[in-house]
Structure 1
């Protein structure tokens, strides 16, 4: 479940079972990564969060683009550059 060097985007989806919908595997993976592995650096007023991978230092942003759904809908975890992170979140810790 940990991040691989080739990982740059993890997008979760709902799986439609007909009478209900359930989160997919990536949803659980994102939940694990953001609660037990990645280091939280900053939170944005809109609810987005910036994380650092302790293994390789990459910056990851957690977003929930479907704010009209309960809980923000399926999450997206994506790599962002330091420049993108500073533009959105302000200063960030170097390590």
Structure 2
């Protein structure tokens, strides 16, 4: 599975209707692989809906979110790059290297 490239800032999964059933697209599967095998979990936000991960290759932070609140379970996952200032604000933590 492909790791996150330096120019990526968003990986947005989708559900696709195929052969009479709803399936995860390639980006959903990639997000699952990244959070299970590559990214390091750091924290949850106060609501419990957002999870913060860090890429050990470039130390960038990534937020796992579910943007479709009308769908079951919040819809398909997205991984979004989050700058250091937002890490401090949203997660009430300092970046790990400080």
Q: TM-score, normalised by structure 2?
A: 0.87
1:22-81 deviations in whole A, cap 9, x for unaligned?
110000000011111101000122321001100000010000122332222111101010
Q: Which runs of 5+ in 2 are unaligned?
A: none
* Residues 13-92 of structure 1 mapped to structure 2, 5 A cutoff: 13-17=14-18, 19-44=20-45, 45-92=47-94
CA contact (8 A) 1:10 1:26 kept: yes
Offset at 1:89? 0.7
SS of 2:34's equivalent in the other structure is helix
Aligned residue pairs, count: 95
1:61 and 1:92 mapped to 2: Cα distance?
15
TM-score for the superposition, normalised by structure 1 = 0.90
Q: Secondary structure at the match of 1:29?
A: helix
Q: Is the 8 A contact 2:51 2:63 kept in 1?
A: yes
Gaps in structure 1 of 5+ consecutive residues: none
Segment of structure 1 superposing worse, 15-24 or 51-60: 15-24
**Contact 1:52/1:59, CA 8 A, preserved across alignment:** yes
